[in-house]
């Protein structure tokens, strides 16, 4: 569990307060706040920091974020330090950061922390994409950059959307049964992964819940047998370009047509009733997951969300927190 505390150093009268917290690995991290120079190779953390007004605190980013900043905005002046999975230690050091924020996955501590911490550069591994950790991590980021009020307002905004969905689906007698496919073909979600919680919050029944591993692989035969009411396929740039700034509807339409043309899928209720949707990863997990939850709930229970327009709410979100217009393809159709 991530824990946040504050202590005051007594090294000198000019010493800054130190923020101490435990990261996703449970490792204690201590850094003087406000943190003025941060290398952030966690793209979701970049979005959060920009949303709460701390873009100027970021001095380094991943190469992916440099090329695909999304609603976080223009990344001019930020040093690209390499890939999220294998950044350049040398480029990170050149940024003279007070803190480095990375994802909890991909890199070993031996390959990363062990090379930076001895140089006096603290490292924090954060999720920033798992909805069950986001409130606490947003608070940590807000405290690090002395923007606690903005962080709390951001949390409240996100949670209002989630709470509305929960209230409207709480007492439903029957739940819509959903097959949620992750990025790779036939890879779905089960108990033990954060994505399953998104389906719970949307008030639907995950047909893969209870499988023995978090990311099980389905088959067409099993899907025909399960016969879900609704299919939600998550798309990433690895398979099809979507999300912020993307305008090529033909490519996404072809991607969806290939999906529903899989062997035996014409026997699945969701396909027969044209209830197969594509969702961009940007709103499936990460800071804007509440938008994805609202889309899923509306697809499942349109009669209970007739007065709510997820696209309009997403537009307002981007304008309020990033000063950006909504552009791109996040869901289809």
Which domains, and CATH codes, for the chain?
Answer: 4-146 (3.40.50.1980), 170-332 (3.40.50.1980)
In this prediction, residue 110 carries a pLDDT of 87
Per-residue pLDDT of the chain (333 residues; tens, 9 = 90+): 455 544 333 333 355 688 999 999 999 999 999 999 999 999 999 999 999 999 999 999 999 999 988 888 888 899 999 999 999 999 999 999 999 999 999 888 888 999 999 999 999 999 999 999 999 999 999 999 999 999 999 999 999 999 999 999 999 999 999 999 999 999 999 987 888 999 999 999 999 998 999 999 999 999 999 999 999 999 988 788 888 988 899 999 999 999 999 999 999 999 999 999 999 999 999 999 999 999 999 999 999 999 999 999 999 999 999 999 999 999 999
Is the CB of residue 33 less than 8 Å from the CB of residue 146? yes
237/69 Cα distance (integer angstroms): 14
Is the CB of residue 287 less than 8 Å from the CB of residue 48? yes
Is the CB of residue 144 less than 8 Å from the CB of residue 99? yes
326/329 Cα distance (integer angstroms): 9
79/94 Cα distance (integer angstroms): 9
Is the CB of residue 268 less than 8 Å from the CB of residue 178? no
64/6 Cα distance (integer angstroms): 33
In this prediction, residue 238 carries a pLDDT of 79
310/307 Cα distance (integer angstroms): 10
pTM of model > 0.85: yes
100/272 Cα distance (integer angstroms): 49
In this prediction, residue 12 carries a pLDDT of 35
Q: Which two tokens mark 28?
A: 């204690």
In this prediction, residue 62 carries a pLDDT of 97
DSSP letter (8 states) at residue 217: B
DSSP letter (8 states) at residue 104: S
pLDDT, tens digit, for every residue of 88-107? 999 999 999 999 999 999 88
DSSP letter (8 states) at residue 193: S
In this prediction, residue 11 carries a pLDDT of 33
Q: Which two tokens mark 124?
A: 């924090």
């Amino acid at each position: 569990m991530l824990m946040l505390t504050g202590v005051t150093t007594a090294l000198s009268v000019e010493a800054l307060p130190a923020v101490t917290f435990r990261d996703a690995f449970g490792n204690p991290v201590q850094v003087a706040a406000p943190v003025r120079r941060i290398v952030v190779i966690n793209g979701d953390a970049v979005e959060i920091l920009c949303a709460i007004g701390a873009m100027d605190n970021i001095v380094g980013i991943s190469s992916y974020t440099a090329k695909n900043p999304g609603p976080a905005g223009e990344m001019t002046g930020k040093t690209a330090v390499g890939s999220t999975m294998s950044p350049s230690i040398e480029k990170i050091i050149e940024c003279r950061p007070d803190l480095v924020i990375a994802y909890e996955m991909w890199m070993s501590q031996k390959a990363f922390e062990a090379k930076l911490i001895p140089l006096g550069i603290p490292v924090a591994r954060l999720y920033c994409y798992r909805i069950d950790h986001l409130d606490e991590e947003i608070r940590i980021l807000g405290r690090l950059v002395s923007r606690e009020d903005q962080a709390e307002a951001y949390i409240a905004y996100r949670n209002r959307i989630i709470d509305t969905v929960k209230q409207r689906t709480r007492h439903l007698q029957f739940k819509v049964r959903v097959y949620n496919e992750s990025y790779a073909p036939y890879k779905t979600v089960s108990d033990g992964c954060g994505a399953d919680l998104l389906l719970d919050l949307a008030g639907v029944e995950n047909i893969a819940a209870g499988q023995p591993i978090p990311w099980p692989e389905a088959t067409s035969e099993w899907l025909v047998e399960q016969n879900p009411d609704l299919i939600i396929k998550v798309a990433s740039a690895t398979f099809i370009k979507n999300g912020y700034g993307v305008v090529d509807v033909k490519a996404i339409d072809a991607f969806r047509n290939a999906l529903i043309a899989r062997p035996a899928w014409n026997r699945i209720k969701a396909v027969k009733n044209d209830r197969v949707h594509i969702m961009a990863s940007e709103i499936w997990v990460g800071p804007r997951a509440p938008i994805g939850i609202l889309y899923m709930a509306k697809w499942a229970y349109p009669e209970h969300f007739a007065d709510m327009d997820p696209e309009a709410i997403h537009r307002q979100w981007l304008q309020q927190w990033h000063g950006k217009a909504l552009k791109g393809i996040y869901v289809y159709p």
